[in-house]
Amino acid sequence: MSERIADVPAEPRTASHDFEPPAALVEFMTGNWIDRPVERAVHPESNRFAQRREALSKAYPGTYLVIPAGRERVRANDTSFRFRPSSDFAYLIGGGETGALLVLEPEGAAHRSLLFVPAHNRGTREFFTDRVYGELWVGRHRGVDESRAYYGVDDCRPMHAVPEYLEQLDAAKYPVRVLRGHDDEVDRQFGARDSDAELATYLSEARLVKDEYELEELRKACAISKRAFEDVIRVMRTATSERAIEAAFWSRARTDANDVGYLTIAAAAEHACTLHWTRNEGALHPGALLLLDAGVECDSLYTADITRTLPISGRYSGEQRAVYDLVWEAQRAGIEAAVAGNDFLEPHRRAVRVLAQGLIDLGILKTSLDEALDPDRLYHRRYTLHGVSHMLGLDVHDCAEARSSEYRHGKLREGMVLTVEPGCYFQPDDATVPERFRGIGVRIEDDIAVTGSGPENLSASLPSRGDDVEAWIAALWEGDA
């Protein structure tokens, strides 16, 4: 009983249209609840997360480390987007509820882990009046005692104690580093300092190399994504809108996993020439292409990021196939370069060289290959636009705070996972492009793990060669006939 009563906020989070309960109702609602036994389940990867916290501890001896899970973000007035904990918090704990906070407190030469979580609140006014934390509104929390056992932390306290704890920590002038940008209340408590950015950098760089658990989660995300792509192909046969495509992919993501890892790009026809077309409000027309860039996020929050450009009628036209084959050859060259010891940028360089030569062969680029690739010209960028790779993991664009020397201008290392995603985009109003190619956009993307024996294509189960894509579509349609 003490746990849930202790976590009563001074001002429950309410909406403008909520009623003020009379005292008699409050009294009636707070009594006669049956205590549920404390569950002693343990996160199956709790030892792994403890090892990550231990590595972080060794990097910052004698320093308090404050890592928020983050808060719900408003979608419209008093409704919020579905909560997802910050990736670094999840990396160190394995999950988390809105408002949760992890603190690593110095203890001798190491740290002790302190986790603040929402407590159970049946038997309190908060239970039925607080829209954010009231268990009648949002469901049962894991609570303090269960969270201590589940996450394997040294100490766990109710979240209402966070403000006083942070105030005391700040007042004591202990060395503190804060992971910023996830919880405004935590950010306001501590003045900004350069050392905070260093903490974010450390965590990003720690996540650059994946362990076997992470690789298996990414394989799982790719496997579920394949099923989602096949759902899309089945729907594509009769669908009339990009919305139907997005809905089919999202349905599988929510059925078999946590969600999509990012906003789905379901870009039909000339929309495929817009790199991040997420409006998904256009029509599907026979004979056009559908560029589907989408990925399933597992319950562990690791996500796939896969792109296939599909012929809506089941077969590519001659012009579509010419562009598609060029992009496929470029991707193959890029994947082959995803080898430990190579520059991170080497897959990009090799893929772009193939693309530039192909653009010359198609008569679109009227320069030499050297001129097209000259850093002072980069003429190919008019049609290829973006880089070929980014890191992948808990975030679709993973490890974003890593130093350039460790990421963009660093070397590939065994255990890294990156995308290889070349593309060609011929805008519908581009006078430099022959009319027959205008409006064609093609991107092919796979998720590649760097291993000791060469690149492992985690998403290789999704066909990508032109003939194989057409056969894939035909087989799924035939099976549904």
The reported pLDDT for the residue numbered 16 is 66
- Is 386 an active-site residue? yes
CA distance 330 to 239: 31
Nearest C-alpha neighbor of 207 from the set 96, 88, 103, 74: 88
CA dist 468 → 269, 308, 309 (Å)? 21, 12, 12
Report residue 182: phi and psi, to 5°: -115, -25
> Would you call 397 a catalytic residue per the annotation?
yes
Is 182 catalytic? The answer is: no
Claim: this prediction has a pTM higher than 0.85: yes
pLDDT above 90 for 253: yes
Conformation bin of residue 196: beta by default, left when phi > 0, alpha when psi is -120 to 50: alpha
Per annotation, catalytic residue among 135, 246, 305, 446? 305
Choosing from 146, 443, 446, 447, which is the catalytic residue? Answer: 443
In angstroms, the CA 247 to CA 292 distance is 12
Known catalytic residue at 305: yes
* Catalytic residue status for 390: yes
In the numeric block, the tokens 């992009």 are attached to 327
Portion of the chain with pLDDT greater than 90, in percent: 90
Which range has the worst mean pLDDT, 112-116, 171-175, 199-203, 474-478? 171-175
Q: What tokens were used for 420? A: 């290889």
CB-CB contact of 104 with 56 (8 Å): yes
Q: Which position among 276, 285, 403, 436 bears the catalytic label?
A: 276
The answer to whether residue 232 scores a pLDDT higher than 50 is yes
Is 476 within 8 Å of 314 (Cβ atoms)?
Answer: no
Tell me the two tokens of residue 61: 């001896």
User: Quick one: which H or E segment has residue 116?
Assistant: strand 110-117
Q: Look at the alpha carbons of 99, 105, 111, 113 in this order and tell me if their dihedral is positive or negative.
A: negative
Specify whether 276 is catalytic. Answer: yes
Alpha helix positions (H), 177-264? 184-189, 194-206, 212-236, 242-256
**How is the chain split among helix, strand and coil, in percent rounded to 5?**
40, 15, 45
Catalytic residue among 397, 409, 413, 436: 397
- The SS3 assignment for 183 reads coil
In the chain, what are the domains?
Answer: 2-206 (3.40.350.10), 212-480 (3.90.230.10)
Q: List pLDDT tens digits, range 326-370.
A: 999 999 999 999 999 999 999 999 999 999 999 999 999 999 999
Look at phi and psi of residue 439 and say left if phi exceeds 0, alpha if psi is from -120 to 50, else beta: left
């729907």: which residue's tokens?
A: 235
> Which residues fall within 8 angstroms of residue 308, CB to CB, at 6 or more apart?
229, 292, 444, 445, 462, 464, 469
DSSP 8-state class, residue 354: H
Q: Which range among 31-40, 172-181, 275-284, 427-436 shows the weakest confidence by mean pLDDT?
A: 31-40
| Residue/partner pairs of 211-217 with CB below 8 Å, 24 or more apart | 211/48, 211/415, 213/45, 213/48, 214/302, 214/393, 214/417, 215/415, 215/417, 215/449, 215/458, 217/298, 217/300, 217/302
Which residue of the set 135, 270, 293, 346 is catalytic?
293
Does residue 135 have an active-site annotation?
no
φ, ψ dihedrals at 14, nearest 5°? -125, 170
Tell how many helices (H) and how many strands (E) occur in the chain: 17, 17
User: Is 127 in a helix, a strand, or coil?
Assistant: helix
Question: Which DSSP category does 273 fall into?
Answer: G
Please tell me the predicted confidence (pLDDT) of residue 3: 41
pLDDT (average), residues 376-399:
97
112, two tokens: 């002790």
373: amino acid identity, one letter: L
The contacts of residue 240 (CB under 8 Å, 6+ apart) are: 283, 284
For the segment 17-62, what is each residue's pLDDT rounded down to a tens digit?
777 899 999 999 999 998 888 788 999 999 999 999 999 999 999 9
Alpha helices for 364-443 (secondary structure H): 369-373, 381-384
Catalytic residue among 52, 425, 446, 447: 425
Average pLDDT over residues 434-450: 98
Q: What rounded mean pLDDT belongs to the chain?
A: 94
Among 146, 246, 445, 446, which one carries the catalytic annotation?
A: 445
Catalytic (active site) residue 78: yes
| 343 burial type by CB count under 10 A (0-12 exposed, 13-18 middle, 19+ buried) | middle
**pLDDT at residue 8 above 80?**
no
Catalytic residue (choose from 141, 230, 390, 398): 390
**Choice among 315, 386, 408, 438 that is catalytic:** 386
Structural contact between residues 418 and 407, judged by C-beta atoms closer than 8 angstroms: no
pLDDT of 283-325, one tens digit each?
Answer: 999 999 999 999 999 999 999 999 999 999 999 999 999 999 9
Please tell me the predicted confidence (pLDDT) of residue 327: 98
